[in-house]
Amino acid sequence: MGLKQRIPFLRWSVWRMATGARNITTTGQIGDGREAAAVAYVLKNAKADDIDDVLAAIDRFAYEKSLLINVGDEKGKLLDAAVRRADPKLALELGTYCGYGALRIARAAPAAKVYSVELAEANAVNAREIWAHAGVADRVTCVVGTIGDGGRTLETLATEHGFTAGALDFLFLDHDKDAYLTDLQSIVDRGWLHPGSIVVADNVKVPGAPKYREYMRRQQGTLWNTNEHKAHLEYQSLISDLVLESEYLG
Ligand SMILES: C[S@@+](CC[C@H](N)C(=O)[O-])C[C@H]1O[C@@H](n2cnc3c(N)ncnc32)[C@H](O)[C@@H]1O
């Protein structure tokens, strides 16, 4: 479904999702089984080994069945363009959910290894099923954990997955909005970024990452060069959102 068909009002499934907001923060899922239903829908309706068809099926599910908190099709195009600018060999996403964002990154960077860090094991299981169906399981990997766990997940990325100094070309922040800045700082401190690495942050307006936005404004032209892209919250045209794309100047 294209942008023109985005629905200009808040659908019932959004209100139902709002009631599940507490669930999201504790379990990583809305709480009504929609994520598992999305996987079943993809496996039944999308052509195997066809990334475009899998992404289209997830978007269709989110529009027609139940809203999902993927980056979505509108902001997804901003993500695609940023990935293409970075032309990554190694990309990292924080916040996997159903695997949609990582799949978009994999499509925009066909030669890249893509890693996604996710707190909730159930989301990792779902995402892996979707990636396997799309035919990218050999180069898209979910690591269950969080950057804020005192170094355990960072260490796993370093020792098991080849995250070394200057190796990380692209980073997508789409997890706990309050952790964007601290997690970015942890990654910078590891030295994984290089001048020219690109960091994209979703939901900077809604739910909002004000400290992250303020930090990028203060660092403009010194450590980072940021473009703020105006967009809408996923699968809606009523609520506006911001996607920040920041180039690391090193
Ligand atoms: C908005 S969804 C991610 C959507 C995904 N990036 C996409 O576009 O398809 C946020 C996800 O982040 C996970 N999450 C929340 N806090 C996290 C943290 N501190 N570290 C890792 N994952 C986290 C949630 O469980 C949820 O699956």
Predicted pLDDT at 2:
45
**Is 202 among the residues known to form the active site?**
yes
What pLDDT shows up at residue 78?
Answer: 98
What are the DSSP E strand ranges found in 40-180?
A: 90-94, 113-118, 140-144, 168-173
- Ligand 1 touching residue 123 (CB < 6 A): yes
Amino acid at 182: T
Catalytic residue among 73, 177, 183, 241: 177
Whether the Cβ atoms of residue 108 and residue 198 lie closer than 8 Å to each other: no
Report pLDDT digits (tens) over 90-143.
999 999 999 999 999 999 999 999 999 999 999 999 999 999 999 999 999 999
Q: Is the Cβ atom of 174 under 6 angstroms away from ligand 1?
A: yes
Ligand 1 pocket residue status of 100, Cβ below 6 Å = yes
Domains of the chain: 70-248 (3.40.50.150)
Q: How far apart are CA 35 and CA 100, in angstroms?
A: 11
Concerning whether 80 is annotated as a catalytic residue, the answer is no
C-alpha span between 130 and 133 (Å, rounded): 5
The string of pLDDT tens digits covering residues 198-249 is 999 999 999 999 999 999 999 999 999 999 999 999 898 889 999 999 999 9
The C-alpha atoms of residue 96 and residue 76 are separated, in whole angstroms, by 14
pTM value is 0.94
Ligand 1 pocket check for 241: Cβ under 6 Å:
no
Q: Mutation test of ligand 1: which of 96, 116, 186 has the most ligand atoms closer than 8 Å to its C-beta?
A: 96
